[in-house]
Chains A and B, each alone.
Chain A
Amino acid sequence: MSVEQRVFSSLGEVCYDEVLDWGFPIYVIPKAGFTRCSALLAVSLDSADGSEGEGTHVKDQIAAQVLPRVIVEQGSGSPFPLGGAGVVAGRDWTSYSFSALDRFPEALRALLRRVFDPDLSPEQVRRVRNKLAREGGKNGTFPDPGSQALIQAYRTFYRPERMVLCVSGGVDPRRVFSVARSISPPAQGREADSPSSQWAEAALPAACLTLEDWSLSFRLTVFDPAHPAGPLALRRICLARLCAQLLVGEGSPLLHDLQEEGLADLPLRVRHPDTGIPPLFLLAGKSRDPEALCRRLSEAAGAYARRLDRELFQRIRLRVYGRWLTSLDAPEQLCRQLVQGHFGGYQPLDFGQTLLSLTLEEIQAFCRETLAPALDPSAILISKGAIPL
């Protein structure tokens, strides 16, 4: 395979990508004049066994929670001595990331070796459990799944086609590809069976409301019934972000009213999904009555579906564009966007052009079809029924 290059002249960016001959995809966006360089190695956790529960697409808990800890805690001392490294066990992917100020290639090699050739022996698992328990007390512990289960989870999920490496910052792309080519593919992953099936679509609710604690913090998740891939997915993401700003972004009349009535705190946090496949739209915050808040959200989406002022639409679109543009200055954020794009099947640097091509009618249709009906209280699931509203 050879390195592909795509130039985004209006953004002053170039994206290089290559899929190594053993199926491992790599993206690099160099940033001229930068000292810092960031890398993010992501492993998709899309369900491999089709299991579902509680109305969300449940990931393999061993792969999501235990494996990353065992992998990152190998060896002695700091896992990545050349730069602050982190592992995040997300809902949709596990990410291993670090930023380095110098000797980036050495740090990258260390990261790839650790993830591609981990020690999953019972002794290693025991050692990591003891270490975490010692450092973090009860919070640091995790159940021992057994070494075989761990190896099985690794074989299932840590396969080249389920992984992606994204790099951005002050680095020569040739050095990144050179380091990646020098690493052997994951030893245990190549012989494993393919993931068996997609998660069951029928089990997905349109919206899921989780009450996290007694102070009525809530999280609203809206799933995209269309769950498309490729450029269409990017278009849906643009629509969702624009709608989120329109409905509850800074200065929105609805947010103002909700705050006045004590139905929402300041600020509501609009979150976006990890991968670009459902969920599409997430909202988190505190409210004395989350159900009422969702009703109002749904009503507002319905109102915009009927009538949306063109000046408001253009203004909010410009806001989303501008904030996305400024996010391109941070290598860590660029890496995340590249991972989202890879798993969603689109090029994230196309976000701006896609956003600017959205029409008012599309926004109205999105509000009507995705948000207005989905936020009907009948579609809201309360996962902790014991907590009174």
Chain B
Amino acid sequence: MQPPVRTMLLPGLRLTAVETRKFKTTCWSIQFVTPLEARTAPLNDLLPHVLRSGTARYPDPLSLSAALDRLSGGVVQPVSRQLGGVQGSGFLAYFPDPRFLPDAASSLEAQAKLLGDLLTRPATKNGRLRNTSLQEGFVQRKQALSHSQEPPGHYARRRMARALCRETPFFDPVEAFSNMKSISVSRLDRHYRTLLADSRIELFYCGPAPADQLRQVWTEALMDLPRRRPEGCPEPEPLPLLPDICRMTETLPGASPQLLVAFRAQNIPEGIALAAMLVSGAILEGFSASLPCQVHALLHPEKGVLVLQAEGGGGRQAADEEALCSLTERLRAGEFRLTELERARRQVISHLLAIEDSPQAMESFYFRQVTAPSLLAPDQLGLLVREVTAGDICRTAAGLTIDTIYTLAGEEA
């Protein structure tokens, strides 16, 4: 697998490409990346679902589906996600690698053309997005949100994210969906035109084609994109320092109890500090063998936040909370063995290398670096993890302060 290549194709249009012959799938994503704002977040969230209903060339789902079939069963999914202070909305796509197809039934050019059309040349009526596309988009978005029942652990993480961002922009599509119905075609169309001209567009590719070929293919596919002055994206910022710990408690009948404690770092971790935070999380997970519940460490580097999530447990709020907090105290005091440090390092490195086993995981990994000034491949981050020392861990732990404590109770008290 080659190191990732990042290159600007057009003003504000950036390609991140990973050349590899490891998979039978090529993975693409193309998305608008914008600052997360309360006014535009619902529009950005809905937009890819509306655009997915047809292009100028394939204006209805049936013809679009036929076009994907001709690309050997390609799959294009609308995606909308947030990362700290930015929001990405566009498409994630998979195509079988033409090397393994009978009669080379799919080509890079055709894939790029279709994806480019989906994002930039939608089906229109009287020059603007169609109302039927908007209605179809509502249906598709609702389906995507309600497709599966959300496990209590996921629900708790979503609510924790909401609590963490109490002073910063945050968008929860589940909460916001009912208000999305008030979005009109004209408003969405205006917003879409602005995005086309002014927003950053991020393109990702993981597959066998070299970067030079991708540059050529995409420059042609998007040559008539109406670009004005694409705006930048906000730099990642740590959470604002608030005087009090935020406590949030909810009840979800029948759910297994969840306790989440979010620790805020002083800075956004980069380089060896990021590696140390990853290893710290793994050591903390290892500590949980002594607790009556399973503890997961979840790192949000874009916010400089480490969340410890305890599932199950005794349901004794105060005792469980104390137990979780005491874990970081142990880290701070250096109360861990070198074998625990080595085990944690190995675990983190394995997880990082496993990212390179899945095109989708790679896409997600690089999206998390969309605002980073330089790219770090999983194996490069793994090399940094190898260098993390006990002193790095103690320093990381010393910089953590409790920001938010979230509790999900299974039964009504």
Contact = CB atoms under 8 A, between A and B. Distances in A.
Interface of A: 10-12, 31-36, 77, 101-102, 135, 169-170, 250-251, 253, 256, 265-267, 315-316, 318-323, 325-326, 328-331, 356
Given A253-B62, A322-B101, A325-B96, A35 B356 contact: yes
A326 B96 CA distance: 6
A266 B140 CA distance: 8
B354 interface: yes
A247 to B, nearest CB: 14
B309 to A, nearest CB: 16
Given A315-B69, A315-B70, A321-B72, A101 B350 contact: yes
A130 B113 CA distance: 59
Given A10-B100, A102-B346, A266-B140, A326 B354 contact: no
B369 interface: no
A326 B69 contact: no
A358 to B, nearest CB: 13
A265 B139 CA distance: 10
A267 B106 CA distance: 26
Of the candidates A10, A77, A329, the one having the most CB atoms from chain B within 10 angstroms of its own CB is: A329
A102 B289 CA distance: 20
10 contacts: A102-B350, A250-B65, A251-B62, A266-B140, A315-B70, A320-B73, A321-B102, A322-B101, A323-B96, A329-B358
A10 B350 CA distance: 30
Given A322-B96, A325-B24, 12 more contacts: A32-B22, A251-B61, A266-B143, A315-B69, A322-B72, A322-B95, A322-B105, A322-B106, A325-B72, A329-B23, A329-B358, A330-B358
Contacts of A250: 61, 65, 68
Contacts of A356: 102
A330 B27 CA distance: 14
Interface string B216-246: 0000000000000000000000000000000
A330 B346 CA distance: 23
A243 B25 CA distance: 24
B113 to A, nearest CB: 17
Given A35-B354, A322-B72, A251 B64 contact: yes
Given A35-B357, A101-B354, A251-B64, A318 B74 contact: no
Given A33-B1, A101-B353, A318-B73, A326 B140 contact: no
A243 to B, nearest CB: 15
Given A251-B66, A326-B96, A35 B72 contact: no
Interface of B: 1, 22-25, 61-62, 64-66, 68-75, 94-97, 100-102, 105-106, 139-140, 143, 289, 312, 346-347, 350-351, 353-354, 356-359
A36 B357 contact: yes
A37 to B, nearest CB: 9
Contacts of A31: 357
B152 to A, nearest CB: 13
A61 B72 CA distance: 42
A251 B24 contact: no
A316 B72 contact: no
A256 B354 contact: no
Contacts of B101: 321-322, 325
B100 A316 contact: no
Contacts of A253: 62
B73 A319 contact: yes
B257 to A, nearest CB: 12
B100 A36 contact: no
Contact of B24 (A35, A256, A329): A329
A3 B74 CA distance: 36
B351 A101 contact: yes
B69 A35 contact: no
A321 B73 contact: yes
A266 B52 CA distance: 15
B289 to A, nearest CB: 8
Given A251-B64, A322-B95, A329 B359 contact: yes
A33 B379 CA distance: 12
A257 B71 CA distance: 25
B74 A322 contact: yes
B347 to A, nearest CB: 8
A316 B354 contact: no
Contacts of B95: 322
A36 B354 CA distance: 6
Most chain A beta-carbon neighbours within 10 Å: one of B95, B106, B357: B357
A11 B100 contact: yes
Contacts of B143: 265-267
Nearest to A135: B312
B61 A256 contact: yes
Which 3 residue pairs across A and B have the least CB separation, nearest first?
A: A251-B65, A322-B73, A101-B350
Residue with the greatest number of chain A CB neighbours at <10 A, chosen from B96, B102, B346, B359: B96
Contacts of A315: 66, 69-70
A379 B95 CA distance: 39
B264 to A, nearest CB: 29
A101 B347 CA distance: 8
Nearest to B352: A35
A250, A253, A322, A325 interface centre (most CB from chain B within 10 Å)? A322
A10 B99 CA distance: 9
Nearest to A101: B350
A267 B77 CA distance: 13
